[in-house]
Amino acid sequence: GQNIDQPTEMTATEGAIVQINCTYQTSGFNGLFWYQQHAGEAPTFLSYNVLDGLEEKGRFSSFLSRSKGYSYLLLKELQMKDSASYLCAVWTDKLIFGTGTRLQVFP
Amino acid sequence: GAVVSQHPSRVICKSGTSVKIECRSLDFQATTMFWYRQFPKKSLMLMATSNEGSKATYEQGVEKDKFLINHASLTLSTLTVTSAHPEDSSFYICSARDRDRHEKLFFGSGTQLSVL
């Protein structure tokens, strides 16, 4: 089977840093995506990792360890608008989504 | 950036009717399109994968006769929810894989289906 697990909910304070973890066990691996989704909207692409290491893009960074089946999304300088669901997804021969993490940012 | 157009964005229908949802890639050719379903506060659940010109591949537990998928061209895929019932009420979203940028998937804006 395919398992992609994330914490269900997280809370953080404006201006802080938060790390959202994702662990996966899948049949095949061709890359890992992170998406942001606000309620009632389509997911928005944040990052794509296919090789081990850290990819930095502005306030957001994503890390991948293929040997450990592990990734995290790091959000710095949190803003209120970062309150959303964050979805980890693994590309096998199709894109399988994790359970999703609802992040709430408080002032 | 690439755009995927999904229509309608919202539909309300009576139980027993069929609803068709369209997903179009506007500025790229999509060899593969994926259809997802999302319940409130839940993640996206893959329903089926459709490849242009061939039959869709459905995920386990998804009824083929209930959710008809057609991918007639490189820019259009449709999902038809047949004889809809209240339990089919959900957010349906498509995504398209760019033939030339394999690592990229682009999402439609989603369709909120409410069956009365």
Secondary structure (DSSP) of chain B: ---EEEE-SEEEE-TT--EEEEEEESSS-EEEEEEEEE-TTS-EEEEEEEETTSPPEEPTT--TTTEEEEEEETTEEEEEE-S--GGG-EEEEEEEEETT-TT-EEE---EEEEE-
B5-50: per-residue pLDDT in tens? 999 999 999 999 999 999 999 888 888 899 999 988 888 999 999 9
CA distance A29 to chain B (A): 12
- B103: pLDDT strictly greater than 70: no
Mean pLDDT for chain A overall: 94
Structure tokens at A82: 């970062």
pLDDT reported for residue A39: 87
Q: And the tokens for A63?
A: 């890390």
The pLDDT assigned to B72 comes to 81
CA torsion, points A74, A78, A83, A87, in degrees to nearest 10? -10
Q: Give me the residues of A, 63-102, that contact B with CB < 8 A.
A: 85, 87, 89, 91, 94-100, 102
Q: What is the pLDDT of residues A32-80, one digit of tens each?
A: 999 999 988 889 889 999 999 999 989 999 999 999 999 999 999 999 9
Instruction: Choose from B7, B9, B43, B112 for mutation: most chain A CBs within 10 A.
Output: B43
Give residue B54's pLDDT: 82
